Amino acid sequence: MSNQPKTNQAEALFQPFSIGPLQLANRLVMAPMTRGFSPQGVPGEDVAAYYARRARHGTGLIITEGTLINDPAAGSGATLPSFYGEAALAGWRNVARAVHEAGGRIMPQLWHVGMARKAGDSPNPEEPPVGPSGLSLDGEQVTEPLSTARIEALIEAYGQAAADAKAAGFDGIELHGAHGYLIDQFFWEKTNRRTDEYGGDLVKRTRFAVEAIKAARRAVGPDFPIGFRFSQWKMSDYEAKLVNTPAELEAFLTPLTEAGVDLFHASTRRYWEPEFEGSSLNLAGWTKKITGKPVITVGSVGLDAEFTGARTADTSGIGGLVDRLEAGEFDLVAIGRVLISDPEWPEKIRRGETDRLLPYRAEDLGRLV
């Protein structure tokens, strides 16, 4: 474990941080991770205990697994959690209460999967998929382009979910605008061929996200944090680039910022990789520089090289992460897979108990550790 920092080196991760009125105990965030433990879309006591365990052991902010907004094509609700309907919302209220009792903060990640990657893969077997132009991520025509009326209903569904999150006692929301799902499908030229106000150049393709953010803002008022997650990559296409230059990133982020985002979550697979040539800043770093908003970084924190694909031994250590945080490149650090297997990871890092860290094991995806 030579790549882990000494206790004092990790100190910067344990400084408090505020997003408007929301106070976080430290800089560690649980990354949103789908688990599929919510029968009929309802998160139960086991899900509440799973998130509360992370809060109790030092994760300052939890972003829940993607939870489906109220649209029949949002995704399959067999085991993925819903974020609508009395039973699911009561389950989520219980999750938020449990996390608060454990001393943590929590935001649901609001999700609509949109079109599948391939024509045959419907996200919900009972419902035809929807997307800006009805195109799969591979570019096949699968369904009709979304009608304006359905787009408006979807925007309203994001607003309703935001209102429900606030009413259920959550501390904010995160809109899932990353990884090639519905909101992201509007961002991409290949999946958004619309010629109305929801399509066109990169800025015009942000329109759907902008309207969803505004609907959420109208629903929650000025003091409830709205987070927005985005990525360059989509689904299994890790080489995809939504933007190629800092100027394009600025064109993309400015409408989202102006619509009311309080917190950006720049999803990358390896936090140490520079985003553009000529600077060591990662995507989160560029996002903070451009927007001036609080930003979360993510990607292979604390993972062994076996999982990161890193070529050199020290890139997956967290020493470099702490240096970047201290330099102000980003404000918060999301941890994904490491927290699947080790709910006590933050506490152990804080205490310098690196010999007690549990490695990530893919088997743990089959249960709620």
Question: Cα(302)–Cα(345) distance, rounded to whole angstroms?
Answer: 9
CB of 230 to ligand FNR, least distance (A): 10
Question: Cα(1)–Cα(12) distance, rounded to whole angstroms?
Answer: 20
Shorter beta-carbon distance to ligand FNR: residue 133 or 316: 316
CB of 62 to ligand FNR, least distance (A): 12
Does 198 participate in catalysis according to the annotation? no
- What is residue 70's three-state secondary structure? coil
**Per the residue annotation, which of 84, 158, 181, 271 is the catalytic one?**
181
Shorter beta-carbon distance to ligand FNR: residue 27 or 229: 229
Whether the CB-CB separation of 256 and 213 falls below 8 Å is answered with yes
* End-to-end Cα separation, the chain, in angstroms: 23
CA distances from 168 to 65, 109, 199, 278, 329 (A): 16, 14, 34, 45, 33
Shorter beta-carbon distance to ligand FNR: residue 31 or 325: 31
Q: State residue 82 phi and psi, 5-degree precision.
A: -90, 160
Question: Cα(153)–Cα(165) distance, rounded to whole angstroms?
Answer: 18
CB of 303 to ligand FNR, least distance (A): 6
Shorter beta-carbon distance to ligand FNR: residue 64 or 133: 64
From the list 141, 33, 126, the residue with the least C-alpha distance to 364 is 33
Q: Is 319 exposed, middle or buried (0-12, 13-18, 19+ CB in 10 A)?
A: middle
Question: Cα(297)–Cα(284) distance, rounded to whole angstroms?
Answer: 5
CB of 188 to ligand FNR, least distance (A): 16
Shorter beta-carbon distance to ligand FNR: residue 145 or 282: 282
Shorter beta-carbon distance to ligand FNR: residue 111 or 208: 111
- What is residue 365's three-state secondary structure? helix
CB of 300 to ligand FNR, least distance (A): 4
Shorter beta-carbon distance to ligand FNR: residue 68 or 163: 68
* Residue with the CB atom nearest ligand FNR in the bound state: 336
CB of 85 to ligand FNR, least distance (A): 19
Residue 10 in tokens:
């990790």
The per-residue DSSP string of 91-116 comes to HHHHHHHHHHHTT-EEEEEEE---S-
* Cβ contacts of 329 within 8 Å, gap of 6 or more: 281, 282, 284, 285, 288, 297
Q: Interface residues with ligand FNR (CB under 6 A)?
A: 31-34, 65-66, 109, 176, 178-179, 229, 267, 298-301, 303, 335-338, 365
Whether the CB-CB separation of 331 and 296 falls below 8 Å is answered with yes
CB of 196 to ligand FNR, least distance (A): 28
Whether the CB-CB separation of 269 and 236 falls below 8 Å is answered with no
Question: Cα(242)–Cα(234) distance, rounded to whole angstroms?
Answer: 9
CB of 339 to ligand FNR, least distance (A): 8
Shorter beta-carbon distance to ligand FNR: residue 155 or 301: 301
From the list 64, 47, 53, the residue with the least C-alpha distance to 102 is 53
Residues belonging to the active site: 181
